[in-house]
Structures are given as structure tokens and as C-alpha cells.
Amino acid sequence: MLLANSVLMVFGWYTVIAVFALHFTNDLRFTVAAVGLALAIRQFAQQGLDIFGGFFGDRFGYRTAIALGCWVRVVGFLGMGFARTTPQLFCATFIAGFGGMFFDATGSAALAVCTAPEQRSRIFSLQATLGNVAAALGPLVGVAIYKSYGFQPVTFLAAAIFIWIGTETVLWLPAGIERANAAAQSRPLSFGQVMHAIRVRPAYVRLILLLIGFWALNGQITLTVPLVAERLGGKNGVAMLLGLNAFLAIPLQYPLVRWLDRHMARMRVLALSMLLSGMGLVLIFLASTFAWQLVGISITTIGSLAISPLTSAITAQVAPPRAAGAFYGFSALAIGLGGLGQIVGGSVFDAQRVHHLPWLMAACIAVVTLGVTYALAKAPAPTATPVYTPAPENDIAAQSGIVPAPAR
């Protein structure tokens, strides 16, 4: 049920996002920076505030949070379809992201608490693989509808999908799924206790902050990459590029992540992933032919395969059972703050076009890639047992799942 929800959510989102930048920059003549800001608003409203959605799910139930989030997102999609000014667009993207805040972390937490610890990296890889199938089909459907009927019908289709997801979640997802783990049967942690549990896991906090760089670059795939792809390959080229990004991941993600998780340290895998992803993006922006852009997106895709599954597995490893939703919300902060990269990327892309500097985007991407890759390679791996820090509140350490230091 949860995997099916995830697939439908990804499909609905990618039908819209594949043509989002094209519609607002080409049809309505918005600047790329304005569209980038709109996408950043959506991303921060969802992943940046995800910790609150996850906390809501821990408190009031994952089923309630998922259904509520889906129905709120419907309003956001309809708003995008009718938006004609930048304030209207910003409002619509915020509502879409605010809805995602409720179902994003809670869906991951629900999947984690229903899965044995040794199976989690494989299950999250399977989820990502199925999501890539949806991400491959979504742009094809979205571009086909957009070319024939315009942008509004695309948003109507996405809204209908999320109405269905919210409804079937209420009807069929079991209540109390957040208590599937026996350790989560007792009263949920307060928000202060959750934040304390996060603070005493410094290696985990450092990892999430470093991944902001990855998601800042990854956001270019939905903003500036379609614009450079259209220049060399037309609208069909946009669908082909985004489709290849997803289709490549379908056969590769599950076996590759499983093999890497067995044979390489996770932090090393994440550093290598960052390096490959950035190299592929640099190639896309420097390419003089569409064929080289396809090579670039292939490298970027292969590089990014392990990021989400390993981050989810690490989060499940370090999170206290009674705060799984909130921890998944905190991990999504990297994606939310990475959305600022869309504002910067849009501004840099505008400057590149105005000042005729074809190398500017590639240079900025290369600098971020090398810096984050080096930091990930040097960072310590998060562990399930954090460094002990005495808690000022009443036994917060025990309530947070924090293991105290052994008696000396």
C-alpha cells in the first residue's frame, strides 16, 4: 500500500514538473529566476518544514497525515493551473509544498517501522526503483498533454491522482501503523525531546547539512536542465532527457545500491555519488549537442542512485522509534534548503544568457561538487549509538532513545 502510494505520488508530480518551467517561462514569460524561486518555495514548504509534518504523524497517526497532505496538495496543483502572476504562482507552489510536508516524512517513517532493520536499504531501494518507473512515465504523459491541450489539463490530472491517493489511504491503510514497532507503543516524544535527540547525533546532523549541496544541484534537473535541453533537443528532447534520467535508474538502482551497501562504506558511497552527479551536470551545461547532454544525464543519474536509499536507511538506523517521522522530516531538511539552489541556479542561468557566459553554470556546479565531495569523504559515519550528552529535562536521554555512557 505504501509503495503504491509512493509510485502514484511520483507520477503525479512528474507530469507537472516536466512542463512547469516551460509553461511559465515560455508561455507566460516569467524569468527563470522567478520560476526557480517558485520551485524553491515549494521545496522548502515541503522538505524544509518536513520535521513538523513528521512530528504531526508521530502524534496523530501516519494515515491521517498522509491523507491530509494529499488533499492539501490538490489545492496547490489547481492553483498552479490557474496562476497568471508571480504572487499567484508562489502561493500555489507553497500550498503544494505544505501538503507534501504532511505525507513526505510520514510515508518514509511508515515504511521504516513496517520493515525489518536488515531489509531497509533494500526496501528503500525498491521504493526508489518503482518511483523511477513513475518518474520516467510522468514526463512523457505530461509533455504529451501539454503539447496537445496546454498546462491546465496536466495540473487537473495530477490533482485527480492526489484526490485518489488521499481517499484510498483513508479507506485502506490500517490505523495505528506508526505503532507497528513494539518500541513505539508508548507516548510519543515532545518536540523538545525530538530536537534534543537530533542534537546529540552530531555526525548525522553533519551529513544532512552536507547533503544540502547535492540537492541544490539536483534541483537543476527540474529547472535549468529542461531549458538547456529544449535549446538542443526541443520539447521532445526535454521529455527524453527527463525520461532517460528515470529509465536508467529502473534496472540499476536496486542491484547497485544493494551491492554498494555490502561492499563500500556508506559515507564513501555518498561522496562518490556527489562527484558523479556533479560531473554529469557540468557536461550537460557544456554540451554542444543533445547526444552529449544524454551522456551527461546518464552520469548524473548513476551518481544519484544511492543518495536517497542510503540516507533513508541511515535515518532509520539512528532515529528513536517514537520519533521516526520527525527524524525523516529532519533528513528532508537537506532537500528543503537545497531548494535555495533553484533560486541561485535560476539567477545564474539568467546571468549566463544576458552576459553570454556559456561556462558560468558549469563552473558554479563544479565548485559545489568538489567542495561537498571532499567534505563527505572526510565526514564521520553516523552511528546508532550517539555521543552521550546529559539532558537537562527529566530523563530526556532515556525517553529519546539515547544510550547513556557506560559506568566507569
The pLDDT value recorded for residue 187 is: 67
343 domain residue, yes or no: yes
The 10s digit of each residue's pLDDT in 16-36 is 988 998 899 888 989 888 888
Torsion of CA 364, 369, 374, 377, to 10 degrees: 170
CATH (domain of 332):
1.20.1250.20
The 10s digit of each residue's pLDDT in 73-128 is 999 999 999 999 999 999 999 999 999 999 988 988 888 888 887 787 788 888 88
Question: Binning pLDDT at 50, 70 and 90, where does residue 135 land?
Answer: confident
Report the share of the chain in percent with pLDDT over 90. 38
405 domain residue, yes or no: no
**Cβ–Cβ contacts within 10 Å for residue 308, how many?**
22
DSSP character string of 186-242: SPPPPHHHHHHHHHT-HHHHHHHHHHHHHHHHHGGGGTHHHHHHHHHHHHHHHHHHH
124 domain residue, yes or no: yes
406 domain residue, yes or no: no
Query: Is the model's pLDDT at 179 over the cut of 80?
Result: no
Q: Of the ranges 33-37, 81-85, 335-339, 393-397, which one carries the lowest mean pLDDT score?
A: 393-397
Q: Which residue has the higher pLDDT, 220 or 401?
A: 220
143 domain residue, yes or no: yes
Query: Is the model's pLDDT at 49 over the cut of 70?
Result: yes
Query: Is the model's pLDDT at 388 over the cut of 70?
Result: no
Nearest Cα to 106, choosing from 51, 165, 175? 51
Computed over every residue of the chain, the mean pLDDT equals 85
**Residue numbers of the domain that contains 265:** 2-181+188-399
Average pLDDT over residues 239-245: 79
The 10s digit of each residue's pLDDT in 199-208 is 889 999 999 9
407 domain residue, yes or no: no
Query: Is the model's pLDDT at 184 over the cut of 60?
Result: no
333 domain residue, yes or no: yes
Average pLDDT over residues 167-175: 88
* Type of residue numbered 76: G
Query: Is the model's pLDDT at 394 over the cut of 70?
Result: no
Q: Which long-range contacts (CB under 8 A, 24 or more apart) does 173-176 make?
A: 173/1, 173/2, 173/62, 173/63, 173/66, 174/63, 175/61, 175/63, 176/61
The 10s digit of each residue's pLDDT in 294-333 is 999 999 999 998 898 889 889 888 888 778 888 988 998 8
The 10s digit of each residue's pLDDT in 273-289 is 999 999 999 999 998 88
22 domain residue, yes or no: yes
Alpha helices in 249-289 (DSSP H): 249-263, 266-286
Query: Is the model's pLDDT at 44 over the cut of 50?
Result: yes
Q: Rounded to two decimals, what is the model's pTM?
A: 0.75
Report the share of the chain in percent with pLDDT over 70. 91
Total domains in the fold of the chain: 1
